Amino acid sequence: MQPPAYLVRRLGPGDEAALAGLCSDTPDFTDDEGEVPLTPTDAQDYLRDPTVWHWHAEVRGEAVAFLMALVQRRRYGAARQVMLYEIGVRTAWRRRGVGRALMEALHRQMQAEDIEEVWVLADNPGAQAFYAACGYRTDELQGVMMSAAIGRAAPA
């Protein structure tokens, strides 16, 4: 078997430019609109945060896919779990094993940290099929995801 033509690596401090580079190319990764990069200070905090796990699959230093997950503390049961927040693969790299390689990196990190459970919200049939192929199953249906923009506190 031939080795993959990409390198999977976990981002950390010093990878601020790699993180920012995803924002302008968001439509090619996830079909969503482009995003505004984090400020340099926020990017440094993100990359230093031990509860933020972020991998890239790269070819010659350019991201062809990424995965971001968050380690969550729990008040009951297992002390920690992982929420797979986002995965994106460039259109030209889809169906070439890159997404699965990122999932395997996530699962290896979980095993190294003795975390047994991961969950993800799959919002379309393609995502559901991908996660099922990676060994995920549909849990009993939950409520609808809701959000609110609270805004910043007024200066005192």
Measured between alpha carbons, how far is residue 109 from residues 35, 72, 122 in Å? 27, 14, 21
pLDDT, one tens digit per residue, over 5-17 is 899 999 999 999 9
Topology of the domain covering 7-133: Aminopeptidase (3.40.630)
pLDDT band at 107 (very low <50, low <70, confident <90, very high): very high
Give the span between the Cα atoms of 93 and 109, in whole angstroms.
Answer: 23
Beta strand 52-59 with 118-119: parallel, antiparallel or unpaired?
A: unpaired
**pLDDT at position 48:** 98
Helices (H), 31-133: 40-48, 98-112, 125-133
Give the span between the Cα atoms of 122 and 4, in whole angstroms.
Answer: 26
pLDDT, one tens digit per residue, over 50-85 is 999 999 999 999 999 999 999 999 999 999 999 999
Identify the three-state secondary structure at position 87.
Answer: strand
Give the span between the Cα atoms of 124 and 140, in whole angstroms.
Answer: 17
Domains of the chain, by residue range, sit at 7-133
Tokens encoding 97: 């094993």
